[in-house]
């Protein structure tokens, strides 16, 4: 006579969690009184198991046989899912300049993405909560990768180190702030470093590889950063990265009128010419600046122009307008002709190697304001006097 055993379960932890579904829990076709087979449970946590005869009548003896195993587990998720699931939103990359849809190299941009702790069937494990969460700032590991999709060029070494990525990442696990149980909202602030020599622009595919303290990670990785045909990360999106600088024009005008010094945002395009060159970044209508960002270079006054005779009066507009802006200097007054160098304090990612010495730090742009000099008409190429 063949007997069958049914195994049922109850939840031990987490308290008030989801009981989940037990699979493979009917045992039959015993051999020499023994039977082994794979079982599944759809959730995370710890359970109690109870085994009983399916007919409660062992070999027609009228005797019911049962057994119990307490505190089985801890069970953890099969994997994380990062996109294409009804309970989560697909990843979003927010560029530093949203209006222009780009980010300067070494400028912060933001990744927002969600992970769903999943069982083998791709369903959420709602019990991945509280003490059963093994991925946050204090446990597990999050690594990031980046590759230019056109070359392709591995940019991962220009990302922050893992500890800095951890410090710039926040985790919000459900049910906080209406996030579903078993789902985390992650925000990572990231930068891609500039090199000493200008390069780019890059269409940088950004990938993430989260691994919790139990080794749970994302299955189906889809981003190969080192061009070896093996995918290394889960793709989050693409960021347009540009090596930027600010070019400050020189300016000429009479000492009796205010003088405007203009500047232009530029970025390096290595695809232009044999060695690449800087071109106007007209997409930058995001960067802001103040009149206090401009100053006069000490000991740069010439001729009859002295300190205090001209001052920083105002700026033309902020933020930049199509990658351009300017500062207005007050008129020094009659007979106060001469020149002075003006420095524009910009953010680190807009400085440049103006002295062409890679061993020195990049610096702010500087150029000269000339009072009492006539610049001439741009439409006149050549002029001379002719005696009659």
**Mean pLDDT, residues 148-169 taken together:** 94
- Whether 388 shows a pLDDT value over 50: the answer reads no
Counting Cβ atoms within 10 Å, is residue 267 exposed (0-12), middle (13-18) or buried (19+)?
buried
Contact 343, 297 (CB under 8 A): yes
| Predicted local confidence at residue 382, as pLDDT | 61
**% of the chain at pLDDT higher than 70:** 95
Q: In the chain, which segments carry CATH 2.60.40.770? A: 79-242
pLDDT tens for each residue of 185-202:
999 999 999 999 999 999
CATH architecture of residue range(s) 244-371: Sandwich (2.60)
The string of DSSP codes covering 267-332 is EEETTSTTT-EEEE-TT-------GGGEEEPTT---TT--TTSS-EEEES-SS-BTTEEEEEEPP-
| Predicted local confidence at residue 377, as pLDDT | 53
- Whether 41 shows a pLDDT value over 80: the answer reads yes
| Predicted local confidence at residue 32, as pLDDT | 86
CATH number listed for the domain at residues 79-242: 2.60.40.770
Quote the mean pLDDT of the chain. Answer: 93
pLDDT tens for each residue of 350-386:
999 999 988 899 999 999 999 996 555 555 566 555 5
């Amino acid at each position: 006579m063949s007997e069958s055993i049914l195994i049922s379960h109850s939840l031990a932890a987490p308290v008030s969690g989801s009981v989940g579904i037990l699979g493979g829990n009917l045992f039959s076709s015993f051999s020499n009184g023994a039977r082994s087979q794979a079982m599944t449970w759809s959730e995370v946590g710890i359970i109690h198991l109870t085994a009983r005869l399916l007919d409660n009548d062992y070999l027609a003896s009228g005797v019911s046989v049962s057994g119990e195993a307490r505190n089985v587990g801890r069970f953890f998720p099969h994997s994380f899912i990062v996109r294409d699931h009804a309970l989560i939103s697909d990843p979003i990359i927010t560029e530093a300049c949203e209006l222009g849809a780009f980010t300067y190299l070494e400028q912060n941009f933001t990744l927002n993405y969600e992970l769903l702790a999943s069982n083998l069937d791709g369903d959420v494990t709602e019990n991945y909560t509280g003490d059963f969460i093994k991925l946050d700032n204090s446990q597990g590991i999050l690594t990031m990768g980046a590759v230019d999709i056109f070359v392709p060029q591995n940019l991962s070494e220009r990302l922050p180190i893992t500890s800095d990525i951890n410090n710039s990442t926040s985790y919000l696990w459900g049910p906080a702030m209406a996030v579903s149980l078993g789902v985390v909202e992650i925000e990572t602030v990231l930068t891609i470093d500039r090199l000493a020599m200008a390069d780019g622009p890059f269409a940088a595919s950004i990938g993430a590889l989260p691994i919790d303290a139990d080794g749970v990670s994302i299955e189906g990785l889809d981003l190969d950063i080192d061009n070896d045909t093996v995918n290394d990360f889960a793709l989050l999106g693409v960021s347009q990265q540009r090596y930027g600088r600010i070019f400050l024009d020189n300016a000429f005008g009479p000492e009796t009128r205010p003088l405007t010094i203009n500047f232009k945002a530029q970025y390096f395009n290595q695809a232009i010419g044999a060695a690449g060159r800087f071109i106007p970044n007209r997409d930058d209508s995001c960067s802001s600046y103040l009149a206090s960002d401009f100053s006069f270079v000490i000991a740069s006054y010439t001729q009859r122009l002295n300190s205090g005779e001209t001052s920083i009066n105002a700026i033309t507009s902020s933020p930049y307008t199509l990658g351009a802006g300017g500062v207005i200097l007050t008129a020094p007054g009659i007979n106060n002709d001469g020149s002075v160098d003006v420095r524009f304090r910009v953010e680190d990612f807009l400085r440049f190697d103006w002295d062409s010495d890679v061993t020195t730090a990049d610096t702010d742009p500087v150029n000269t304001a000339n009072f009492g000099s006539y610049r001439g008409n741009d439409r006149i190429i050549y002029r001379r006097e002719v005696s009659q």
